[in-house]
Structure 1
Amino acid sequence: MLDVRRMQVLRAVVTSGSVTAAAANLGYTPSAVSQQVAALEKQAGTALLERVGRGVQPTAAGRLLTEHAAVISKNLAEAETALADLREGRTGRLSVRYFATAGATLVAPAVARLRREHPGVQVDLRLIDPDDPLPEVRKGRADLAVVVQRRDQRQDRPREEIRLVHLLDDPYRAVLPKGHRLAAQRVLDLADLADEPWVGNEWPEGPCHQIVLDACASAGFTPDFVVESEDYATAQGFVAAGLGISLMPAIGLGNRHPSIVVRKVRNPEPNRGIYAAVRETSLPQPALRSLLDALKEAAA
């Protein structure tokens, strides 16, 4: 195996024209330079320099290694520059996972700010399904995930390798068709909705669906879902048509159907916590810290 450092010493000798000049340029003694070249010749199994008058010139093997030493030096310099750019957040790639309602409200403005501050950083954005996205972060397949945490999950002992950064608490609202018997009330007790037909708007296995079920259980009933939907816009259409009522998180009600009314609920008021999940070891990355700051700003 050829020694890269010794190849650079050989290159210095060849470009300087003599061992003495190379030693002066490198800050070595001529004896040390000669020893380095001799050791490289032993590794190469052939002579690398030959004397010409009071100086030296490379043999064919010496020229070959000198050319490769130049390429290696150039590649190392480029690698150091690229590494510095990555450390400072000027380049790189961030993989981000998010759920639908967080996309327009939180992720879009945060990524727009990140691109202004770190234009060389590529962002891989992917919509996640209702399953727990934390394994994506823990296993390194995602740098950041916007996740929902139920109240009982928030009380769990935190996973040491994952940092959950709180972005906002998103309260649920009752969604009723216009003309509903309860539409005139500004605030509803959740139990007032116990006998109503319900329109589902979440994946059944998702955490947001469980938040609704838990709140209703606390109010003493189980909702009767007569229609299932997987997004808030479609669910609003079903409610507007008079097929049932629904509970939806506030940030999911940005574009409201004209034939619905939205009311606060209490006793209890369902609430979902929205967090950014990142690995502790990834937090020193400048681009990731900037994205977290942008998400907090968007949430505020």
Structure 2
Amino acid sequence: MIDVRRMQMLRAVVTSGSITAAARNLGYTPSAVSQQLATLEKEAGIALLERIGRGVRPTEAGRLLTECAAVIGTHVAAAETALADLRAGRSGRITIHYFASVGVVLVAPALAALRREHPGVQVRLQLSEPRDPLAEVRDGRADVALVVRPDDRPPVEDLRLEHVLDVRYRAVLPHDHPLAAKPALDLIELADEPWVASESAGPCLDVLLNACGAAGFSPDFVVDSQDYATAQGFVAAGLGVALIPESGLETGDSATVVRELRNPEPIRRVYAAVRRSAPPQPALRTFLAALHEAASG
């Protein structure tokens, strides 16, 4: 196999016109360069240089390897530049999984910060539902996922979960509901009400069911919806009551009222999941820091 470093030495000799000049430019002795070229000729199985007076010129095989060395040198330089850009966060790609209700409050400002600091990084945003975002991160198909994680869940192997934000749920009632006059509601007060489901199966629904279980009842879901805006519309139509996280509330709807909850107050704990074994990524560090900044703001 032909050694690439010896090919670059051959290129230096051909470009310089002599072994002595090339040795001086490379910082080697002429005998060291000659030995390396002799080894290269053995690897190639053909003469690479011929002497002309005090200098040398390449044979056809020597010109071929010299041209190849130039191309290789260009590719190596390009690779080194690309690697430097990746290390510095000037290029690359980051895949982010999130769920809809944190898109505005967390992902949008964090993504804007990422764009400002790392404009050359490609960002791939994906809604988590219905896939398991933790599996995507663990398998390397995503770099970070925003997830809801109850306090009693065990640690996830190979993943680090950074707590980002606590989102409180609020009761949404028709504006003429008998409980609408109260500024805050005990969760048990909604036990006998028809409920509009605002969550699909998964950890978000578990937050609601666990809170209701702690209050001593199971909610009677009479209408199912796949998004918070639709759920509020069903509530406005008088079909039932709903519990919706603050980040998912539609403001300006005069047909409904929003009230605080207590005893217990359902809280959605949002975490950013990343792989423990993932190599350092400046863009990922920036995005995680921006998530925390958006949550604190």
Give the TM-score normalised by the residue count of structure 2.
0.97
Give the equivalent residue in structure 2 for 1:213: 209
* Alpha-carbon separation, structure 1, partners of 2:130 and 2:203: 7
In structure 2, give the amino acid aligned to 1:219.
A
Is 2:271 the counterpart of 1:275? Answer: yes
Q: Which residue of 1 aligns with 2:158?
A: 161
Distance in 1 between residues matched to 2:131 and 2:68, nearest whole Å: 51
User: Cα distance, 1:257 vs. partner?
Assistant: 2.7
1:284 aligns with 2:294: no
SS of aligned partner of 1:152: coil
2:195 maps to a residue whose letter is W
Tell me, yes or no, if the aligned pair for 1:150 and 1:211 is still in contact at 8 Å.
Answer: yes
- Structure 1 residue 33 and structure 2 residue 40: aligned? no
Mapped partners of 1:195, 1:292: distance in 2: 42
Superposed CA RMSD in Å reads: 1.2
Change (3 A) 1:20 1:283: closer
Deviation at 1:223, TM superposition (A): 0.5
Are the aligned partners of 2:2 and 2:43 in contact in 1 as well (CA < 8 Å)? yes
Q: Deviations over 1:138-193 (max 9, x none)?
A: 1000011111111212xx2x335212111111111111010100011111111100
Does residue 251 (structure 1) correspond to residue 262 (structure 2)? The answer is no
Q: Tell me the residue number matched to 2:178.
A: 181
8 Å Cα contact 1:168/1:275 also seen in 2: yes
Contact map agreement 1:236 1:256 (CA 8 A) in 2: no
Number of the residue aligned with 2:232? 236
| Corresponding position of 2:295 | 299
Partner of 1:195: 192
User: After superposition, where does 1:34-183 map in structure 2 within 5 Å?
Assistant: 34-153=34-153, 156=154, 158-159=155-156, 161-183=158-180
3-state DSSP of counterpart to 1:282: coil
TM-superposed CA distance for 1:283, in Å, is: 6.0
Runs of 4+ with >4 A deviation:
none
SS in 1 for 2:178: coil
- Compared with structure 1, are the counterparts of its residues 131 and 67 closer, same or farther at alpha carbon in structure 2 (3 Å cutoff)? closer
Q: Which moved more, 1:274-283 or 1:219-228?
A: 274-283
- Cα shift at 1:27: 1.0
Partner of 1:17: 17
Q: Structure 1: where are the runs of 5+ without partners?
A: none
What is the letter of the counterpart of residue 159 of structure 1?
Answer: V
Deviations 1:250-276, CA, capped at 9 Å, x for gaps: 111144532111111111111110111
The structural deviation recorded for 1:119 is: 0.6
CA distance in 1, matches of 2:65, 2:159: 48
| Amino acid of the structure 2 residue aligned with 1:241 | A
Deviations 1:195-240 (A, max 9, x none): 000000111x211111111111111111110000011000000000
Q: Is the 8 A contact 1:149 1:275 kept in 2?
A: yes
Q: In structure 1, how many angstroms separate the alpha carbons of the residues matched to 2:179 and 2:130?
A: 31
Measure how far apart 1:133 and its partner are: 1.1
Contact 2:229 2:250 in 1 (8 A): no
- Contact conserved, 1:282 with 1:288, CA < 8 A, in 2? no
How far does the alpha carbon of each residue in 1:90-113 deviate from its partner, in whole angstroms, 9 at most, with x for none?
111100111011112111111111
